[in-house]
Structure 1
Amino acid sequence: MTEVQENITNLKKQIPAGVKLVAVSKFKPKELLLEAYEIGFRAFGENYVQELVDKCEALPKDIEWHFIGHLQTNKVKSIAPFVHLIHSVDSFKLLKEIDKQAARNERVIECLIQIYIAKEDSKTGMDKAEYLEMLESEEFKSLKNIKVKGLMGMSTFTDNMDLIREEFRSLKELFEQTRNIQADNFSLDEISMGMSGDWQLAVEEGSTMIRVGSSIFGSRG
């Protein structure tokens, strides 16, 4: 068994049932993804559109591709034919573009709304008020080719675990506040929060999906 395969196997033993592991594979060579694939792993997360497109073309077609980076509206068309889940929908404008490109590909694309929970300017996302206002709008309700499946949040980059817990908890509270909304394009099931350094904390606070890179692939490709 390779190091990547061992890392995935060990991680899966630690992760509770019901929590999905997404392997963050940005900048990692295709050979390492194939090592994970060979032991049945299928969910990979990429941050950059061109890298995602290239890997999708080169790797097996049953891989479940997650887009987890900042997504520009003009790049949506490149991933719309095949992306499994977009974690990083940080504006209503972007969601409308995803809906438009999904319609062109005769698909419904599943999305997570990225909520701004960190105390950092470098992070993006909707604030709570923007998110709630969007859900009330007729324009949102009219979108037919997206389905909002949950929320995503990125914590502050800090060693202050109390702050990180507080941020994760705020995302879970917003999830609970809106999870009972009923709409054809809205069905909250997932909370994507937690990465290599804080996923245990995220799971304690209700995460259903963790995005782990260095703990699987190492810090170098």
Structure 2
Amino acid sequence: MSIKENLSDLKKKFKKFDCLLVAVSKTKPVADIQEAYDAGIRDFGENKVQELVDKQPQLPDDIQWHMIGHLQRNKVKYIAPFIHLIHGVDTFKLLKEINKQAQKAERVIPCLLQIHIAKEETKFGFDEEEVLALIQEKAFDELKNIRIIGLMGMATNTENEAIVRAEFGGLKKFMDQLNTLELPENLALKELSMGMSGDFLLAQEEGSTMVRVGSAIFGKRNYR
């Protein structure tokens, strides 16, 4: 099937959910992204800074670029002038660097805090206790050039739906808990980025507002 047909198929499944589709275009050529753009997609996710920086000037200006991969602090400066949303903010040091580079670019950059919800140790992210401590210590208050608009989580890579559902549900519950607290102005938690090609319907059922879908749109990846 073509990219346009894949998107049409996906949108039928999306009908009952109020959820943003972020098309994960990592490893895919500019022509494929343009095809998805022509089919109506405006939000694209990349997980490598170099690839993002290469593609951005070659494509329409109204594309909203999402950084969805693990972001190193020394690479933030390259995407700060144009990035729409950084999903995987997994340390406070990274948050401080984003704030610094956003200040230089004279922008306020929206971010999501990545919370470690999976059973696998390989996944990145804050623990819930860390986030609660940072709020209590008023650590976020000094960061004037970022806005934390929600949370992001990656479920365990397993066929067991009950585990995945519990992890997504737990993240939604944690965001609800945070929203009962007195939060600083730059924490306005509305977005939940969870769910990928294999589990986005489950994620939506558990409250996701944003799913990151790649292979279901663009087909299998070539990682050579």
Q: TM-score, normalising length from structure 2?
A: 0.95
Q: Which residue does the alignment assign to 1:9?
A: 8
Q: How does 1:90-105 map to 2 (within 5 A)?
A: 90-105=90-105
SS in 1 for 2:3: helix
Q: Residues 56-115 of structure 1: CA distance to partner in whole angstroms, max 9, x if unpaired? A: 021111100000000001110010000000000001111111011000000000000000
Matches of 2:72 and 2:26, distance apart in 1:
17
Q: Distance in 1 between matches of 2:92 and 2:221?
A: 35
Paired with 2:216 and 2:50, the residues of 1 have a C-alpha distance of 24
Query: Are the equivalent residues in 1 in contact too, given 2:46–2:52 (CA < 8 A)?
Result: yes
C-alpha distance in structure 1 between counterparts of 2:203 and 2:76, whole Å: 29
Paired residue secondary structure (2:140):
helix
Matches within 5 A, 1:86-165: 86-165=86-165
2-structure distance, mates of 1:201, 1:18: 14
Query: Contact 2:46 / 2:69 at 8 angstroms: preserved in 1?
Result: yes
Q: 2:29, 2:171 → 1: CA distance?
A: 33
Distance in 1, matches of 2:162 and 2:69, equals 25
Deviations 1:172-220 (A, max 9, x none): 1111001244422110110000000001110111101000000000013
CA RMSD, 1 decimal: 1.2
TM superposition shift of 1:169? 1.0
Tell me what 2:191 maps to.
Answer: 190
Per-residue deviation at 1:39?
A: 2.1
Write the mapping of 1:23-62 to structure 2, written as runs, cut at 5 A: 23-62=23-62
The aligned residue for residue 85 of structure 2 is 85
What is the CA–CA distance in structure 2 between the aligned matches of 1:51 and 1:211, rounded to whole Å?
17
Paired residue secondary structure (2:221): coil
SS at match of 2:95: helix
**Offset at residue 17 of structure 1 (A):** 4.0
Compute the displacement of 1:139 (Å): 2.9
Task: Give the Cα–Cα distance (whole angstroms) in 1 for the partners of residues 40 and 193 of structure 2.
Answer: 22
Question: Counterparts of 1:168 and 1:214 in 2: how far apart (Å)?
Answer: 21
Identity %: 57
* 1:23 counterpart SS class: strand
Q: 2: CA distance between counterparts of 1:150 and 1:136?
A: 18
Conservation of the 8 A alpha-carbon contact between 2:17 and 2:204:
no
Q: Is the 8 A contact 2:25 2:214 kept in 1?
A: yes
Q: In structure 2, what is the Cα distance between the partners aligned to 1:213 and 1:33?
A: 11
Query: After superposition, what is the alpha-carbon deviation per residue over 1:131-185, rounded to whole angstroms, capped at 9, x for unaligned?
Result: 1111222331111000000000000111111111111111011110012444221
| In structure 1, C-alpha distance between the alignment counterparts of 2:59 and 2:124, rounded to whole Å | 30
Residue type of the alignment partner of 1:198:
D
Q: Within 5 Å, which residues of 2 pair with 1:182-221?
A: 182-220=183-221
TM-score by length of 1: 0.96
Q: Distance in 2 between matches of 1:123 and 1:220?
A: 21
Deviation at 1:20, TM superposition (A): 0.4
Instruction: Say whether the 8 Å CA contact 2:140–2:184 is kept in structure 1.
Output: no
Deviation at 1:40, TM superposition (A): 2.1
Task: Out of 34-43 and 144-153, give the one that drifted further.
Answer: 34-43
2: distance between equivalents of 1:178 and 1:71? 24
